[in-house]
Amino acid sequence: MRLLEALILALPPIAATASTHWPYQRYVIPDITSDPHKHGKLEFADSEPPNHFIEWLRSAVKSDQSGTLRQPFKDDKIPRHVRSFEELWDHIQLPEAPDNATHRPIFTHPTFPIPPTNREALSIFADIGYPVDPLCTSDKTKWFYRTVDGSCNWMETGNTTYGQLGAKRSRDYNQYSYQDGYNEPRDGPNPRAVSNAFFKRKQRLYYEHTPLLLGLIEFIMHDVTYSEDSTTEYIDVPVPPDEDTFPKNTTFRVWRTERVPGTGTSPSNPRENANQASTWLDVSSLYGSSTEVSRALRSFEKGKLLTSQGSFLPFNTMGLPMRTRPGVDPKSLFAGGDPRTNEDWIMLAVHTLLLRDHNRMCDLLAKQHPEYDDERIYQTVRLAMAAKFALIANSYQMAYWQTTGTDAMPWPRDDGFPLYRQMYGENALEINPAHLYPWPLVTKGGKPMVASAEMAVVYRFHEFIIASFPLKDAKNSTIREKSTFESAFDSKGFIEAGLENILRGIVATDIPNFKSGVDEAFRSAGKYRGSPFDIVTWSIVHEREQGLPTFNEYFRAYNSYDPAVVIPIRERFEDFSSDPEMVANLKRLYTHPDEVDLVVGCQLEETNFPGTTVPSSALIISLFSLFGLGNSDRFSVGYSIMRCILVDKPWDCTPSNALDELFWDPKPTEHFPKARWLNTFWLNELDFQAHGTNLLWRLITENSDVDCLQKNPLFPYDPETNPILCSLSPASPNVPELILTAIEVILTLYKEHQGSFVSFLVGLITLVVWIVYQLRTHPNGLPPALYGWPIVGVALQFKSGPNRLLLKGMRKWTKDVFGLKLANQIQYVVTSPADMQAIVDDSQYEVKFSLHEFMRSINSDLITGKTNFETDLHTRLMRNNLLDSETLAGFAETAALACDLFHSREPLLEGNEKEKHYDDLIDYLNRYIIFVMSRCLVGPDSFDDEGLLKTFLKFNDDAINAMGLASLLPSPLRFVAGLSIQKDYKAIERVLVPAVGRRRSQQSSDVNFLNFILPVIDNDKDAADMLAIVVFGGLTNLQATMSSTFLDIINQPGLQERILDSLGGAAIGDLSSNRSSSWASLRSAAFESLRLSGPVTGPARAVMEDVHLPSDPSRHLPKGQAIALTAYYLHRQPSVWGADADKYRWDRFMKEDPPIGSDKFVSWGLNTPHICPGRWFALQSIQIMVKALLEKYEFVQDRELSDGEKYRYSSGSVLRNPVGVKVLRRS
């Protein structure tokens, strides 16, 4: 007990250093390249950040005329000194206790709530203002959480499908402008001619915003609207006669929007278009709007979403309907909640950040509520994410406000409601966040505002699209420019470029303003999804084919509602524009102003909406609608934050959904068991203090390795108005300070437990562990690493279970590289293709990475001998003789003869035995492999000496152990690993030196490796040693690969016969490095086993100088350490090999070989001069040996092993786990 108490006392100082939450301290630095620890100043050095929410609430309470807001507070006001939610609770005026409440039990923190009955739900929604449909209230999951498809958000009886997936898209003013009144597309001039006339980019006007704004627009639009193309109806648009970009015979084919079935039959039943996304701001682009998509994206563990390695979006191995382009397999793209997930890297960056933020908040909620199960965590965080996204959308809409000059947006600007105050001419006190649901101001005809057909077409802001954006490293240096258009449908490239490099780039540049025209990469694309493309032509065609109104038609209806901001009707073409060229184009293309398309009129708009930088007509259709649908949402963050003030009261509050429950914590008293108050933690998490204005900065810094960027990432950096802020990451720790702090902990322990040696010991251990931890968590630009114990690091775990250690690192860090601290070096494991390519690029010179020096570090010089190691003679001999097709054919004959000889000498069934059971066949296979290898390498003389074969096997084991000891022993003790190897050499030499001497006088007529050694090495002892080295190289490879090929085949019922049938006409002479049909099945099976039997780390290189990682230039690998690939991990990546990447599938390579030497298949190394020289010899030997076994015997395993049961790993090898086998003789 004392030990536990002491440990608990020791933990708080340590935990405090690792736990921070907003509002936290941030450094202001002069520019992005400054060191925050040297040049940074605290953002709030002398004060706390202001709480704007409390300031707003104080003002609203003071101005409240109805008394509803004032009622809960003492003296009907909030005092000026109140600055926190905790202080505010002290000013709640609790009513007198009811007579029957004096002895009620005090509530404890609730467990998972019991689903209320329909009656209880109706009680909660008694004052909602419309009859509630039992379809929603009878099932708690439909009203307490968001439904997947958006149904039951609006719970009115008979209208519960409003806004859900598949519902018809609303029209702002119920206008249908079809040519025939109900189905035929509205007539108009050639859409491409319209595009050329009004949307061609002639100049790039500066807009003081970053491309992050563009990414948010895309994500928001994909969240609330999606139209599927018809599979049968299309509109062809020929290029106009004056076309100057595309050939004159070019035709754009635009597919019509899929209609709602049964519509478009008559004027009374006009064609409707279905919205294939839920219309609410529910982040459905991340989660999906259907059960199928939603479930496919979930991990079903602790509420989290699936991710791929590095915490990127999961690859689409589940086969969701993702948009792609010809030649790009949808399974190679990311999977998301919307089919357009992969359309460009800017939006993908936003999507990735939101994915990581969901999983981060799941961890927060699970820590606070360990009793929550996966489903409750997921559903609650999904609501919290939508609330956060709505607050981000508030920050996003503020990006359009004019903040200076006479036309500036009036205060308050950041509470989310200035647009409506401008629209309706009301003041801040009449329109503010304090309102009930449903809010009449955001309903139309008694229904909530949803994403309309007009909004879906106009709210694109295509002029913001940039031709390219920079990728920037941590020092703000441009790595390269990336074409925005070419970033589409390139998930692998996104990972290789690095999220951080993309984010730094898009917040360091600007976008074009309205009136700039659309970039030609998107307006005149040669190929997009397989055909010529013009994003403007598509918008115009869809406006017409959906029967949307023209510009004048739309705004006549709008003006009829008597808005404060009126849009003048264009009576003349000159009313559209002051530009004579634009007026001339209007007159050339249209016959009357009423014919001008809606998107064209918005494009030509020259008057900005009051207080904003956005043209009035475009803003009314887009941002005004966005604001309306956000506040029409029953789960709106604004309603939840006021739930226990406006609907209920703090002393008697019942949450109407899980978001209410999150915001309002139980705070029961004796007389008020249902009392609740604001949860400071979650209000901080959603940045209520600043109305969400810090959320974009936090979204980036909390979910990436970008620590410094401008305060508002939607605007370019400005030292005065938008300074660079850095998250507080401590500098390299001050060791004396750490020691003094830890000593203070020990003294506290001793004071509490005087005379207790255990207390002192625990304190001392805590001191050591803490200091080591602090020193290691700030590696000064190095990748993170698993350090383990002093001296040996994690070498012991690496020796016994390297795969577990690797996966621990992968789970711990969301990076493409991390280190494993072994005794004599750190091995940095890389998985990024860019980092692997750096090894390939350096391979000719080995200036940065050296295979030779790495082999020395793992004791290869002890195994091969120093002289041979320095000359690399054994590798040159193999490279010169094992790649020649004629020589390989000779080795094939030798191997086949050796197989027959082995089976005659060591049959699995003796005499007349028909069957026999073996506990396992591993030892038998090893004897089989070394017998054939010895015959191929040594030749006919002495190859089968029993002592020699046993020594070869022992030499192999000792060499592997020596390599493993390299990770355990410091460099001065490496000689210990070579002691047993020297004994093996001597035993081998006793047999082989005489045999070598005999062979010099009498050459062998068959093909064997000794024939190639003798002309090069004059000394018989050295020649014998060379044979031992080559045997070791071959045996190490074949022990894993030949055994796995054979055991994988017999493990799968029926596969032996299938392979044998395919080998019916196979001849040894058909074998080669190229494919042949007769051996194709066995070759495919061998490659598949080779893929799955790869080592945990390797191939590897020594790092010869400090090298910055191409995948993340802010990090570098230090000189003297090692860089290692991981065949084990790379060969199991679903993004490369499909959903069954970790499963054995013998026919995976029937059509083509694996990409040998690429970053996808590294069993034989990368495609460098060091790629395995014996690869084709090994492959053909495997096939010959397996064929001989299968033809002679039938094998029946005691049980079928799962793929996860097959292997056991050590630091130097991959072995098969034993399984009992019954052997039967084939007739």
Average pLDDT of 237-261? Answer: 93
SS3 call for 918: strand
465, 183 Cβ separation under 8 angstroms: no
pLDDT score of 427: 52
In this structure, the answer to whether residues 759 and 881 fall within a common structural domain is no
Q: Is the pLDDT of residue 640 over 60?
A: yes
52 within domain boundaries? no
In this structure, the answer to whether residues 774 and 868 fall within a common structural domain is no
In this structure, the answer to whether residues 1025 and 913 fall within a common structural domain is yes
Domain that holds residue 15: 1-20+731-778
Where in 1042-1120 does DSSP place strands (E)?
A: 1100-1103, 1107-1109, 1112-1117
Distance, CA of 832 to CA of 1160 (rounded, Å):
10
- State the Rg of the chain over Cα: 36
Average pLDDT of 146-171? Answer: 93
pLDDT score of 449: 84
In this structure, the answer to whether residues 735 and 870 fall within a common structural domain is no
In this structure, the answer to whether residues 882 and 769 fall within a common structural domain is no
Helix (H) or strand (E) holding 1012: helix 1010-1013
1004 within domain boundaries? yes
Residue 409 DSSP label: P
Tens of pLDDT, residue by residue over 883-926, are 888 899 999 999 999 999 999 999 999 988 999 999 999 999 98
Give the confidence band of 971 by pLDDT, cuts at 50, 70, 90.
low
Out of 508, 532, 563, a domain closes at 508
Higher pLDDT, 346 or 769: 346
Distance of CA 410 to the CA centre of its chain: 41
Omega into 666 within 30° of 0, i.e. cis? no
Distance, CA of 335 to CA of 345 (rounded, Å):
14
pLDDT score of 1034: 66
Q: Is the pLDDT of residue 10 over 50?
A: no
Any idea which of 105-119, 274-288, 495-509, 558-572 has the lowest mean pLDDT? Answer: 105-119
Distance, CA of 849 to CA of 833 (rounded, Å):
16
pLDDT score of 734: 47
336 within domain boundaries? yes
In this structure, the answer to whether residues 1011 and 873 fall within a common structural domain is yes
Average predicted confidence (pLDDT) for the chain: 83
In this structure, the answer to whether residues 956 and 1092 fall within a common structural domain is yes
Q: Is the pLDDT of residue 639 over 70?
A: yes
Average pLDDT of 174-195? Answer: 96
Sequence-distant (6+) residues with CB within 8 A of 377 are 302, 303, 362, 365, 366, 369
Average pLDDT of 25-51? Answer: 70
Average pLDDT of 223-237? Answer: 93
Residue 1199's CATH number = 1.10.630.10
In this structure, the answer to whether residues 326 and 471 fall within a common structural domain is yes
In this structure, the answer to whether residues 1086 and 1190 fall within a common structural domain is yes
- What b/e readout covers 138-154, taking b as 16+ CB neighbours within 10 angstroms? eebebbbbbbbbbbbbb
Distance of CA 457 to the CA centre of its chain: 30
Q: How many CB atoms neighbour CB 686 within 10 A? A: 23
886 within domain boundaries? yes
Distance, CA of 990 to CA of 149 (rounded, Å):
78
1047 within domain boundaries? yes
Out of 778, 793, 815, a domain closes at 778
267 within domain boundaries? no
Q: What percent of the chain has pLDDT over 90?
A: 40
Out of 452, 478, 508, a domain closes at 508
Distance, CA of 907 to CA of 1192 (rounded, Å):
10
Distance, CA of 653 to CA of 677 (rounded, Å):
9
Q: Is the pLDDT of residue 109 over 80?
A: no
Long-range contacts formed by 176-180: CB under 8 A, 24+ apart: 176/270, 176/271, 176/547, 177/547, 177/548, 177/549, 177/550, 177/553, 178/270, 178/271, 178/547
Average pLDDT of 505-534? Answer: 83
Tens of pLDDT, residue by residue over 665-696, are 999 988 999 999 999 899 989 998 887 889 99
481, 468 Cβ separation under 8 angstroms: yes
**Kindly report the CA angle at 893 between 890 and 894, in degrees rounded to 5?**
90
DSSP notation for 313-329: PPBSTT-------TT--
Torsion of CA 597, 601, 603, 607, to 10 degrees: -170
Residue 647 DSSP label: I
Helix (H) or strand (E) holding 362: helix 345-368
Tens of pLDDT, residue by residue over 1163-1178, are 888 888 888 888 888 9
Do the bridges between strand 817-821 and strand 785-786 make them parallel or antiparallel, or are there none, so unpaired?
Answer: parallel
Both tokens of 677, joined, read: 């108050």
**SS3 readout for 446-508:** CEECCCEHHHHHHCCCHHHCCCEEEEECCCCCEEEEEECHHHCCCHHHHHHHCHHHHHHHHCC
1089 within domain boundaries? yes
Both tokens of 800, joined, read: 């016994």
pLDDT score of 105: 38
Sequence-distant (6+) residues with CB within 8 A of 11 are none
Q: Is the pLDDT of residue 751 over 70?
A: no
DSSP H helical ranges for 906-1009: 922-938, 946-966, 979-1001
pLDDT score of 333: 95
pLDDT score of 106: 38
In DSSP terms, which residues pair with 554 in a beta bridge? none
Q: Select from 935, 944, 839 the least CA-distant residue to 1165.
A: 839
Q: Is the pLDDT of residue 737 over 60?
A: no
Torsion of CA 681, 686, 691, 696, to 10 degrees: 140
Any idea which of 405-409, 414-418, 626-630, 884-888 has the lowest mean pLDDT? Answer: 414-418
536, 199 Cβ separation under 8 angstroms: yes
DSSP notation for 1013-1061: HTTT---HHHHHHHHHHHHHHHHHHHHHHHHHHHHHHHHSTTHHHHHHH
Distance of CA 297 to the CA centre of its chain: 12
DSSP notation for 744-792: HHHHHHHHHTTT-HHHHHHHHHHHHHHHHHHHHT--TTPPPEE--BTTT
592 in a known ligand binding site: no
Find tokens 């999906």 and name the residue.
Answer: 288
Average pLDDT of 86-109? Answer: 64
- pTM comes to 0.63
Sequence-distant (6+) residues with CB within 8 A of 187 are 179, 544
Any idea which of 107-111, 438-442, 1153-1157, 1219-1223 has the lowest mean pLDDT? Answer: 107-111
SS3 call for 333: coil
**SS3 readout for 610-640:** CEECCEHHHHHHCHHHHHHHHHCCCCCHHHH
Q: Using CB atoms within 10 A of its CB, is residue 680 exposed (0-12), middle (13-18) or buried (19+)? A: middle
In this structure, the answer to whether residues 893 and 992 fall within a common structural domain is yes
DSSP notation for 860-905: HHHHH-HHHHHHTHHHHHHHHHSS-HHHHHHHHHHHHHHHHHHHHH
In this structure, the answer to whether residues 1196 and 1066 fall within a common structural domain is yes
Single-letter code of the amino acid located at 1094: G
Q: In angstroms, what CA-CA distances link 227 with 284, 338, 450, 453? A: 14, 11, 15, 10
Distance, CA of 518 to CA of 541 (rounded, Å):
17
536, 450 Cβ separation under 8 angstroms: no
pLDDT score of 27: 72
Q: What is the number of structural domains in the chain?
A: 3
Average pLDDT of 287-313? Answer: 94
pLDDT score of 1024: 85
pLDDT score of 432: 59
In this structure, the answer to whether residues 905 and 1007 fall within a common structural domain is yes
Distance, CA of 804 to CA of 817 (rounded, Å):
16
pLDDT score of 778: 45
747 within domain boundaries? yes
